[in-house]
Amino acid sequence: MADTSHQEHGRKVAAMFGRIAGWYDFLNHFLSAGQDIYWRYRLVKLVRPQENGLVLDLAAGTLDVSVELVRQYKGVKVLAMDFAYPMLSCGKDKKLEGRHAARRGIIAPVQADGKSLPLPDNCLDGATIAFGIRNILPREDAYREVLRALKPGARFCILEFGSGSKRIWKGVYNFYLNRVLPLLGKVVSGDSGAYSYLADTIRAFPDERALGEELRRAGFGRVMFVPLLSGIVYIHVAEKEK
């Protein structure tokens, strides 16, 4: 019964992101006041793949993290995987600018399930997921798959909102999360359900220490986290033991 409910959840989430794919980038930048660009930069900075390595961008969405990986690491090859094909489709024409433009073409978008990666063991020099781990149930299945595919010593870097159960900025953030975010999402995209879902999953998400314990139980070695914007967002780094 649990597997069936998780599969149904996955289908609903994929359909929801498919509906808002065209608005996704605009709303990310607008609702975060542009901070999401810096958050992704910091996420990618912590991956540290080997030169010319292979990196998985899981729940790649519209490929913002994939493009940042190529921008920061010369010669890196990125497998951009997402369950929702319309998201990948919206991002496939994004281009690197200036001196990075010649690196275009080493991002490979692939529709795939994060709980069953089409990858061999020990093939990845790093992996990322930005604002996507909340959408995978059970999370532990994704952890195990990423761990299996990482090379020893490689990192899995997770960018995710902190738990909405904590009062931040004397409750101002919580009010924004619970009231303002769903309303703005509805006004701009016409889909109130998607941004109510976002607020609900942030509230239900484990805090940074609990998430670290999940990663350790899944088999990762060294696990650490970096808070951003007063803990509204965290970057979690989990290394596969050598």
Each residue's pLDDT tens digit, 136-191: 999 999 999 999 999 999 999 999 988 766 677 766 777 777 777 777 666 666 66
Q: Could you tell me the domains of the chain?
A: 2-239 (3.40.50.150)
Task: Give 183-235 pLDDT, tens digit per residue.
Answer: 766 666 666 666 677 778 888 889 899 999 999 999 999 999 999 988 889 99
The residue that leads in pLDDT, 102 or 52, is: 52
% of the chain beyond a pLDDT of 70: 83
- The pLDDT value recorded for residue 1 is 47
Residue 226's pLDDT is what? Answer: 96
pLDDT at 8: 79
What value does the mean pLDDT take over residues 107-122? 95
Q: Is the pLDDT of residue 111 over 50?
A: yes
Greater model confidence, 18 or 77: 77
* 144, two tokens: 């195990």
Q: Does pTM surpass 0.75?
A: yes
Could you write out the DSSP letters of every residue in the chain?
-HHHHHHHHHHHHHHHHHHHHHHHHHHHHHHTTTHHHHHHHHHHHTT-PPTT-EEEEET-TTSHHHHHHHHHSTT-EEEEEES-HHHHHHHTT----GGGGGGTT-EEEEE--TTS-S--TT-BSEEEEES-GGGSSSHHHHHHHHHHHBPTT-EEEEEEE--TTS--GGGHHHHIIIIIHHHHHHHHHS-HHHHHHHHHHHHHS--HHHHHHHHHHHT-SSEEEEEEGGGTEEEEEEE---
